[in-house]
Amino acid sequence: MIKTTNLSKHFQNETAIDYRDLVFEDGKSYMLLGASGCGKSTLLNMIAGILSPESGSIEINGEEMSSKSQKEKDKFRINKIGYIFQDFKLIPEMTVIDNINILKLERVDTSAADEVLDSLGILDKKNKKVKHLSGGERQRVAIARAIVKKPDIILADEPTGNLNFAIGEAVIKQLIEISKGKTLIAVTHDERLGKYFDCTIDMNEVTGGRRDV
Three-state SS for 34-66 is: CCCCCCHHHHHHHHHCCCCCCEEEEEECCEECC
Q: What backbone phi and psi angles, to 5 degrees, belong to 122? A: -130, 25
Q: How far is the CB of 165 from other proteins (least distance, A)?
A: 27
Work out which of 106, 177, 191, 198 binds other proteins, going by CB under 8 A.
Answer: 106
Q: How far is the CB of 192 from other proteins (least distance, A)?
A: 28
| Contact flag: residue 189 with other proteins (CB under 8 A) | no
| Contact flag: residue 102 with other proteins (CB under 8 A) | yes
Give start and end residues of each alpha helix (H) in the chain: 40-48, 70-80, 96-101, 113-119, 135-147, 165-178, 203-207
| Contact flag: residue 109 with other proteins (CB under 8 A) | no
**Please, which residue, 77 or 193, has the CB nearer to other proteins?**
77
| Contact flag: residue 54 with other proteins (CB under 8 A) | no
| Contact flag: residue 51 with other proteins (CB under 8 A) | yes
| Contact flag: residue 150 with other proteins (CB under 8 A) | no
Long-range CB contacts for residues 95-99, cutoff 8 Å, separation at least 24: 95/126, 95/127, 95/128, 95/129, 95/130, 96/122, 96/125, 96/126, 96/127, 96/128, 96/130, 96/133, 96/141, 96/144, 97/126, 97/127, 99/130, 99/141, 99/145
| Contact flag: residue 74 with other proteins (CB under 8 A) | yes
**Please, which residue, 140 or 145, has the CB nearer to other proteins?**
145
Q: At what angle do helices 165-178 and 135-147 cross, to 10 degrees?
A: 10
| Contact flag: residue 139 with other proteins (CB under 8 A) | no
Q: What's CA 188's distance to the chain center, in Å?
A: 11
| Contact flag: residue 50 with other proteins (CB under 8 A) | yes
Q: How far is the CB of 42 from other proteins (least distance, A)?
A: 10
Closest CA to 60 of 2, 144, 143: 2
Which part of the chain contacts other proteins (CB under 8 A), choosing from 54-62, 101-109, 111-119, 176-184?
Answer: 101-109
DSSP 159: T
**Please, which residue, 112 or 170, has the CB nearer to other proteins?**
112
Which part of the chain contacts other proteins (CB under 8 A), choosing from 14-22, 57-65, 90-98, 112-120?
Answer: 90-98
Binding site for other proteins (CB under 8 A): 45, 50-52, 70-71, 74-75, 77-79, 81, 83, 85, 89-91, 93-94, 98, 101-106, 145
